[in-house]
Structure 1
Amino acid sequence: MRTDDFLEVMHELVAFVRVAEAGSFSAAARRHGLTPSAVSRQVARLESAMGVSLLQRTTRQLRLTEAGMAVLERGRVMVAAAQSTMRVAEGHVGSPKGLIRVSAPKAFARHVLQRHLLTFLQHYPDVDVHLLVVDRPVDPLREGVDLVIRLTDDPPQGMVARALMPVRQLVLASPAYLASHEAILAPEDLMAHSCLSIGEQERDSRWRFVRGDDEVELTVAGRYTLNHSEMRLAAVEAGLGVGCVQDFVARDALAAGRVVRLLPEWAFDTNYQGMAYLLFSASRYTTPKVRALIDHLVGALTPGASAAPAPE
């Protein structure tokens, strides 16, 4: 096939990308309102035009060939570019409008993001938001998400990353628990206490503390292990032991005196904290609706930033 003939197979290329991402002809067909056989014929035409096999078909699954993997990598870029091109007109409209897809971790979405999204929706009545609340990594290009919030100290390459706010894990206990147990004045004192760990990985029971040049790492144990921050906070409030909870989850309980922060002079070093970044594709055309939400969240959450003005 001549390289300048790609316009003749653009529909087929899009079909192939969707099939490869969905993992089946039927799933891709449902997305586009076609029949599986119609999508299969589109992919077959692309293979014929290119002169290579892109998919290995079996009765149970599809598998990309080496050529198929290379075409998928470049095809995704072409599809994204085509989508961006189609949004150029929308991008020049002065007033933000349309749908924005956002993803965020569960606890962050509930305790931090929700109230700012509600304010944004009140300010921009022509903008809709689809919020995907998941703790797994989200691929914005593959899943059609405009903005991704991720807690990390190492934002991914190839994406624009706007820092929103630091997130820390705090070590907490209830006043009643502290009144009936030995004092906790140093990290080593935790060895004598029931400690509530996250428990998703074996190293979650290894608690590490840093203070200047001093580092202390110890193995803790307790009666209750759970990977849900709000439930872990409730267990701490109930006096079941010492627990680690994200600062934004514990904020109200700390302010009300239901829990007490322990070892505040020590930094609790864990994988479940970091900077909350707002991520979006560097290759995606930033429309007014997306830019408005970026400015709104950065202004609301970033220390020292000023919120973007609401439209009149």
Structure 2
Amino acid sequence: MVNSKLIALLPDLATFILITDEGSFTAAAKKLNVTPSALSKLVTRLEKALVTKLFDRTTRKLVITPTGKHVYDQAIIMVSAANQAWEASTTAHTSATGSLTIAAPEAFLNSVLQPFVVPFLKKYPQIQLKLRVADGEIDLFKEGIDVAFKLTDKPDENLVLKEIGRTDLVLCASPEYLSQRSIPSHPTELIDHDCLYLAETEHDNIWSFFAEDQYHTVSVSGKYAVNHSQMRLQGVKDGLGIGIFHDFVIAEAVEQNLVIPVLSDWTIKSNYHGSIAMQYPQTKYMPARLRVFIDFISEELGNVFNKFNSQS
């Protein structure tokens, strides 16, 4: 239930934000086309209602109090929500303009999403696109993310889910490396090979494999580890060992016979494989810039993964 006393304070809180931002009654009064004395009385009224002092006032300047700063921060949230409500009410009548922040794992961003950035921006020149690498867990609301791409079988249940495709992890090595060191026929044989892994955490060199009712965990080692998919792939191409990749990262290299998949009969367990999920907050009134991005990427990536999966 809405507090009736709070409703009466909302306009004063919004004005309080402006006064704080402008730093004086005079400057804020010019913006609102009112007198400085009127704003002084408004602050006095607001302080009385909140039972707290918002400003330390001198003849020269206003200094916000610690409590006033806390009230200001909360009022900003209120105004932000009001702005969203205003934007929602006009969404159907606005063009695709404004800023979008997109988060995705490095490998997906580089290998899959990046080629569509320029075509999208050319089609929608009034949109500013911000891309952010996010390989771990991410809070869309806290970090201001509009859309997040996740490679997982456990998408966030609090977000809208749109599945783009599916990805699995693949082991591969160069033909030269395999000719010199032999092709492993079982996961446990990886112990005798040079392996390239992420080296982001202390457990990144522990690889888990499934095949029917069999399960094996192997601690691998090697002379080179890097948490960048293209650099790791280049290392594999150069014969440094066996690497683990998402299938879409190595698809072209496999087609060109630059790398060869190994242990293909085994499924590799990881937190970053499964459905390619595009997720975004639930909203009844979606901004046009977000709607066109979702539609554009859904179509383009749908075509990519339909083609990719048909070839797999």
Q: TM-score, normalised by structure 1?
A: 0.73
Q: Please give the alpha-carbon distance, in whole angstroms, between the structure 1 residues aligned to 2:144 and 2:17.
A: 14
1:47 shift after superposition: 7.7
2:253 matches 1:258: no
Q: Please give the alpha-carbon distance, in whole angstroms, between the structure 2 residues aligned to 1:44 and 1:284.
A: 39
The 1:239/1:48 distance shift into structure 2, 3 A limit, reads: farther
1:2 matched residue in structure 2: 5
Identity of aligned residues (%): 29
Aligned pairs (5 A) from 1:28-39: none
1:97 matched residue in structure 2: 96
Aligned pairs (5 A) from 1:193-272: 193-272=193-272
Deviations 1:35-85 (A, max 9, x none): 69x9xxxx999787544799xxxxxxxxx99xx79x95x974x44531222
Q: Please give the alpha-carbon distance, in whole angstroms, between the structure 2 residues aligned to 1:299 and 1:79.
A: 35
The 1:49/1:225 distance shift into structure 2, 3 A limit, reads: farther
Moved more, 223-232 or 134-143: 134-143
1:166 matched residue in structure 2: 166
Deviations 1:132-174 (A, max 9, x none): 2222655444444432223333333432122222233211100
1:175 shift after superposition: 0.3
Deviations 1:187-216 (A, max 9, x none): 111111111111111221111011222211
Specify every segment of 5 or more residues in structure 2 that has no aligned partner in the other structure, as ranges.
Answer: 28-42, 55-65, 307-312
1:121 shift after superposition: 2.8
Q: TM-score, normalised by structure 2?
A: 0.73
Query: Residue 100 of structure 2 contacts residue 289 of structure 2 at CA under 8 Å; is this kept in 1?
Result: no
The 1:5/1:200 distance shift into structure 2, 3 A limit, reads: same
1:120 matched residue in structure 2: 120
Deviations 1:82-134 (A, max 9, x none): 1222213541227x420241322333222211222322233334x41322222
Q: Please give the alpha-carbon distance, in whole angstroms, between the structure 2 residues aligned to 1:293 and 1:287.
A: 10
- The one-letter amino acid paired with 1:175 is P
- The one-letter amino acid paired with 2:7 is D
Moved more, 293-302 or 277-286: 277-286
1:222 aligned counterpart, secondary structure? coil
The 1:180/1:80 distance shift into structure 2, 3 A limit, reads: same
1:107 matched residue in structure 2: 107
2:132 matched residue in structure 1: 133
1:226 aligned counterpart, secondary structure? coil
The 1:103/1:289 distance shift into structure 2, 3 A limit, reads: closer
Query: Residue 191 of structure 2 contacts residue 220 of structure 2 at CA under 8 Å; is this kept in 1?
Result: yes
Q: Please give the alpha-carbon distance, in whole angstroms, between the structure 1 residues aligned to 2:85 and 2:219.
A: 54
Q: Please give the alpha-carbon distance, in whole angstroms, between the structure 2 residues aligned to 1:160 and 1:12.
A: 35
Q: Please give the alpha-carbon distance, in whole angstroms, between the structure 1 residues aligned to 2:205 and 2:266.
A: 18
Moved more, 249-258 or 128-137: 128-137
2:176 matches 1:176: yes
Please provide the CA RMSD for this pair.
3.9
The 1:287/1:264 distance shift into structure 2, 3 A limit, reads: same
1:248 shift after superposition: 2.0
1:202 aligned counterpart, secondary structure? coil
Give aligned pairs, total.
273
Q: Please give the alpha-carbon distance, in whole angstroms, between the structure 1 residues aligned to 2:17 and 2:164.
A: 35
Q: Please give the alpha-carbon distance, in whole angstroms, between the structure 2 residues aligned to 1:242 and 1:282.
A: 42
The 1:35/1:209 distance shift into structure 2, 3 A limit, reads: farther
Q: Please give the alpha-carbon distance, in whole angstroms, between the structure 1 residues aligned to 2:236 and 2:304.
A: 33
- The one-letter amino acid paired with 1:97 is A
Specify every segment of 5 or more residues in structure 1 that has no aligned partner in the other structure, as ranges.
Answer: 16-28, 55-63, 307-312
Q: Please give the alpha-carbon distance, in whole angstroms, between the structure 2 residues aligned to 1:45 and 1:266.
A: 71
Q: Please give the alpha-carbon distance, in whole angstroms, between the structure 1 residues aligned to 2:13 and 2:150.
A: 33
Query: Residue 97 of structure 2 contacts residue 288 of structure 2 at CA under 8 Å; is this kept in 1?
Result: no
- The one-letter amino acid paired with 2:243 is G
